[in-house]
A and B are shown apart, each in its own frame.
Chain A
Amino acid sequence: NAGVTQTPKFRVLKTGQSMTLLCAQDMNHEYMYWYRQDPGMGLRLIHYSVGEGTTAKGEVPDGYNVSRLKKQNFLLGLESAAPSQTSVYFCASSRPLAGGYNEQFFGPGTRLTVL
């Protein structure tokens, strides 16, 4: 099992360009998440999905869009990149169980720089 994979690993964009980050998981998880990680700020949730065809906003959704057309894939789009979106982006998946148990499995991350 590959677990959670992310493409690309690195990307440099110019302000105003667009791009899509791809996340794929082979664990048949229902839930998927996109986070951004900035120094000193931990992990902040951008968008999440509780199933195929459904998405919802997280803590910092502005400037991003997502789609979950297939259960195993979760795409994160930046329509018009801004320097403030320079960050490391992590995708995660999980299968929450009763009692709040929710182990999230993370991909290796995508380092994005916006010039």
Chain B
Amino acid sequence: GENVEQHPSTLSVQEGDSAVIKCTYSDSASNYFPWYKQELGKGPQLIIDIRSNVGEKKDQRIAVTLNKTAKHFSLHITETQPEDSAVYFCAASPDSNYQLIWGAGTKLIIKP
């Protein structure tokens, strides 16, 4: 079955700098790759996603890139702000459309 690995587990960056979180997946049939943000004491919330027929997608300060050949995808956050501090999860959707396979999460810390 699908397996998703996420790195790093913790990332500390200076406010205003960029942050990059990387994920790899194992099932070449996966076709949908979302990123979720989990703030303290809350459930995860979708922030951006990408489908397998697209290489890059941007939404203001966040972007996601996908390399299908290498089976990895990344989240990029530019001009980081204190409110970006959270745990970020990547996920992959195998050919069945009712399950998401999740990475272990990255705790992003923005230093003032």
Residues of A within 8 A of B99 (CB): 45, 48, 58
Instruction: State whether A100 touches B32 (Cβ < 8 A).
Output: yes
Contact residues on B (Cβ < 8 Å of other chain), bracket: 20 to 34
Instruction: State whether B31 touches A100 (Cβ < 8 A).
Output: yes
Contact (A42, B105) CB under 8 Å given A103-B34, A109-B43: yes
CB distance from B43 to the nearest CB of A (A): 3
| Complex: A114 Cα to B44 Cα, angstroms | 24
Interface positions, chain B 72-112, Cβ under 8 Å from A, are 89, 93, 95, 97-100, 102-105
Contact (A102, B97) CB under 8 Å given A42-B89, A43-B44: yes
Binding site for B on A (CB under 8 A): 4, 31, 40-45, 48, 50, 58, 90, 92, 94, 96-97, 99-104, 106-109
Binding site for A on B (CB under 8 A): 6, 9, 30-32, 34, 41-46, 49, 51-52, 89, 93, 95, 97-100, 102-105
